[in-house]
A and B are shown apart, each in its own frame.
Chain A
């Protein structure tokens, strides 16, 4: 049995969908983000006025729009999985392309936000708030890019007819990773942009 086959858990009752390896990766990523979030919250506890004042300069609208974008993209991934479960490869590929498109919108909005921040002369060393804000959002940004790459490979395979109603672990694996990217942002947005 190959390592891949040994780790493949598709269709095994009670197991999360996708490959076991991606779930180990997801839990590791959630642990890293979780530590980052808690560190932010406790750093803020010692610098409340600084964090509240700096937070007012963030573009909350772009953060909220990006939240909507990621949630809708997660929905598109769900539809891609539903399509391949019915053996609809082309439909699956189209939903995945729609997801990647939403990821592209997130990236463009985030780049505009970063440009706004950096053109104001703000950097990681400006203050503790911006150190956390830039580190957290850049770290998450890299995950969005990685998710888009993963889903591109999955979409390409779907287009070649590489998945079927009976065999589509790869779609589940890519979908699970993308949902993780979404749920991390769902905590990050209120934590950094909203709560004060």
Chain B
């Protein structure tokens, strides 16, 4: 390994956060509870995970704003419409 290797690389820290958020989502799922709060929490955690992967794993944080906006737009549109559908069904 390179001499530049550190004890905790930035990508390893991102991995830890991603695993923790996955654990959170699983724990919320285990409750078998429904409702707006659970739905929003689970979706928000998933959206944060996607954005972390896009920025830090796919490397788009170094790309021009337009590339990042395409990915962010997709994420916000999809999760937003899912929220609308679920809130509609709650009513």
Contact = CB atoms under 8 A, between A and B. Distances in A.
A182 B53 contact: yes
Given A175-B58, A179-B54, 12 more contacts: A27-B74, A34-B74, A41-B81, A42-B88, A45-B88, A72-B15, A186-B46, A187-B50, A189-B46, A194-B25, A194-B28, A194-B29
Interface string A183-196: 10011011101111
Interface in B12-51: 12, 14-15, 18-19, 22, 25-26, 28-30, 32-34, 38-39, 42-43, 45-46, 49-50
21 contacts: A15-B67, A34-B74, A34-B78, A37-B78, A38-B82, A41-B85, A42-B81, A42-B88, A44-B86, A45-B88, A45-B89, A60-B29, A64-B22, A71-B22, A82-B9, A88-B2, A183-B49, A187-B50, A190-B43, A195-B42, A195-B43
Interface string A144-187: 00000000000000000000000000001001100110110011
